[in-house]
Amino acid sequence: MHKEIAFLVIFSSVVQYGEQRKQISIGIFLDDDDQYELSTIAVSSIVRRINLFTRTDYLLRPHIFRVSNGDLLETGQLMCQLIERGIAAIFGPESPEINEMIQSVSSGVEIPQFQTFWNPKLASTNRSIQGIFNLHPTPKGLSQALSTLVRENDWNSYTVLYENEDAVLRLQEALKRRSPADPAVQFRNLGSKDNHRTVLKEVKSSGVLHLILDCETAHIMDILREARELKLLSEFHSYILTNLDAHTLDWSEFKDVRTNITAFRLLDTENKNMKHAVLVWNQMLKYDWFGPVHNIALQKELELFRKKKPFSEIRPHDLHTKTALLYDALNLFISVYSELDTKEKLTLKPLSCESYETSSHGRKFANRMKERNQELPLLLEPLTGDMWKFDQNGYRSNYKLQIIELYATEFRMTATWRSKYPNSITLALTEKDRDTELKEKIQQRTFRVVSRLGDPYLMQAVPPNGKSLYGNDRYEGYSMDIMKEICKPENLNCSYTFELVPDGMYGNYDPKTKQWNGLIKELLEYKADLGVCDLTITYERRKAVDFTMPFMTLGISILYAKAVKEPPELLSFSHPLSFEVWIYIATSYLIISITMFLVARMNPNDWENPHPCDPYPQELENIWTIRNCCWLTLGSFMAQGCDLLPKGISTRMVAAMWWFFTLIMGACYTANMTAFLTMSRMGPTIESADDLAAQTKIKYGCLEGGATSSFFKDNNFSTYHRMWVQMESAEPSAFEKNNKDGVKRVLTSKRKYAFLMESSSIEYEMERNCELMQVGNNLDSKGYGIAMPNNSPYRKSINEAILKMQEMGILHRLKDKWWKEMNGGGKCTKDKHSTDAEAAEMGLDNVGGVFVVLAAGVILAFLIAMCEFLWNVRKVAVVKHLTPKEALIKELKFAMNIWARKKEVTTSGLRDISLETLEPKM
């Protein structure tokens, strides 16, 4: 009871005080849309606050009209009726057609008009017009904000989806900043609702990932639903919404969408002024607080809203920009008006649309609004930020926009753009925050990895005990281990599944069909998240997809077969000289020996005294028998010399010529032996790509449709271009379908074919097949990387994981595992390390023939000795009248007595022959 009495007292005092206030009539034109009720509530709220709680001597009398585009004539009549009542200001409308008419009338009679929508035509209006003020962010400001955001996001190419031509004006600043070298920006007119799907299909076929959507708030959801159906809302796509009211929509149906959707927002929904205002509005819908004071029309309108439908509680996120701007426009108007009226006592007078009379307050109001460097006082807290500066065209020149990003089902602020600093953005989320969120997303991801079979990167795993394998257990290899390391808890802590690319190709672009194949196609069509195999990073592929930093560095090199080492022949030491030369040498040996014998018999100087003590010998003897001549020539040939030397000039001449001959032949043999041994160890007949290109006997080729073939095809270097022409024209084809076929062809071609492939693959094959070798240095330098669709959010995190693995030596360890340890690796390591030693050593096979000759000579000498021994036994048996057996035993005992140094002399015929030995003295 006491509360009711207090309420009546307050109400009666307010009514009495209101009757003493100066009444100010204003006209408000609201669009006939879903925001009409909320705008009316906002007007009622501020009217109530101004009429009740402000310390002013004014009472606002709003005249609210609900208009639509078809009511142009009726709205014009209402406008004329308003100015005849002596109104102080006009607010709205938002419809461009109706606004042009109201703006024309307002500027003609100089009544201030406040606009709350994007109006690019205001800048082109004659600047002499007074009193038109637009609280909405300026066209140039919005364009600068959009341009700065595009630049900060590093969008080189993007597509603009728009409903009307105003989109070009909103993008003019972004277009001005583009250089001629940048990719062209595509503009797609959405047209009618039935045409959206056709336009979106064209966008999908173009492969563009960045899109700017410029449309009405009510159409955003319909367009995005169709984009989702066409798979244009993947995690690799990014959208920027130019509509400032995108945050008011219900985004719950897109909670599972991973697309980055960014928008602008003028309203700070977390601002305490906003929350307080919305709280008051909700109370007004529940309770009739003084009706709005002294305004029966507003009171009836609110009663109608309550009866029409039960309003759900209003949230800050439900508030549209124009509603908040209307609230601030009323606040700004009454604040400036009360300030001017206090100083100059403004008067409101009735005007007519048919006369040229103007208001008395309009010009003063306009001048105050456009005064520079002077802050405009506000009676209430604004909802859209500070409003104390307007330019000469009537645009609001100080404001800030929030850059918001869809997170789950609602938008959150990620950055701020200020009109005072149009070329910069203030981030609200740091890079560290972004990385933390990204890691949380990765931990919830299962990456779809596409690859292809190829040793040792990915191979079919052998099922244990004949059991079937499923999922990732089906494969093994270097690629699997890399993903296993990347997804470890200490790195990304994610999961993955491996699938094979259907066509088994790496990925090449066909200029005729303008399509990619292989792994690149799978990534472009978003059928996979990552491509992991021995995929080379090339310029063409890099334009189509993103790559991580290389996890392996390599280059193109030449795979060739080693020279086949034939088993050395037994008499290989004789190979430095041909068989004919050896025959000629033997013949020369015999001829010289005979010549020496004949010349010595003719030369008197070679006949000597057999008894040097007899000065008058009766006979002379010649030591140069056939046996001695052969011994001299043989000793000279073997460079060992002889105790017998010629004394005559002629015989010495013969000996000197033979020595000269043996000197030359010995030097030739030594030189040829060195060359022969060197040739037997020589490797390939080619040592570089230049050698390969300069000859035609050895064919060469590479993998068909791979990065290696692209290297030769697109290279302008003369040697490589000549090699490509040679490969293309080769019959049969020099290209192979895979590396295995290329290696097999090298092994079976008997050094008539060389295969050009990556050095890492050559290393792998050389570890398992000792008949293969790498020729020359790498022809280029490149790397294998993990491929992913463009604009992939996980590229940075995977890069960090690869860099960490590289620094910790994990990549090197994995390579050693699959190259040198697994599947027969390391087989040729011993041969590789012993190559240098072999080059300096000769094996037994090379000199075995010399040992055979030595053994044969010794055996022959032993046989001759046996013959001589038996002949001597025969003579002893005859002289001593012994049986052959007795003589043989007697002579054998003497021969076996190694201590015997002297032997008796026996004669042959009349002379004794030695039969007994003298016992050695002890």
> Which residues fall in the annotated binding site?
536, 541, 708, 758
* Encoded amino acid at 462, one letter: V
CA distances from 394 to 167, 332, 517, 557, 814 (A): 22, 14, 57, 71, 68
Q: Could you count the other beta carbons within 10 Å of the beta carbon of residue 59?
A: 21
8 A C-beta contact, residue 18 and residue 294: yes
Residues annotated within a binding site for L-glutamate: 536, 541, 708, 758
Short-list 93, 98, 97, CA closest to 116: 93
Contacts of residue 20, Cβ cutoff 8 Å, sequence gap at least 6: 57
- CA dist 198 and 194 (Å) reads 8
- CA dist 190 and 203 (Å) reads 11
Short-list 582, 597, 585, CA closest to 630: 597
Contacts of residue 423, Cβ cutoff 8 Å, sequence gap at least 6: 144, 148
8 A C-beta contact, residue 551 and residue 802: yes
Residue that has been written with the tokens 């079919």 in this structure: 460
**CB burial string 316-343: b at 16+ within 10 A, e below:** bbbbbbbbbbbbbbbbbbbbbbbebbee
Secondary structure of 117-171 as H, E, C letters = CCCHHHHHCCCCCCCEEECCCCHHHHHHHHHHHHHHCCCCCCEEEECCCHHHHHC
- CA dist 159 and 162 (Å) reads 10
Residue 529 DSSP label = S
- CA dist 132 and 134 (Å) reads 7
* Encoded amino acid at 8, one letter: L
DSSP 778-817: -S--EEE--EE-TT-TTHHHHHHHHHHHHHTTHHHHHHHI
8 A C-beta contact, residue 21 and residue 58: yes
8 A C-beta contact, residue 72 and residue 96: no
CA distances from 541 to 517, 770, 881 (A): 11, 35, 108
Rounded to 10 deg, the angle between the 431-443 and 795-807 helix axes is 90
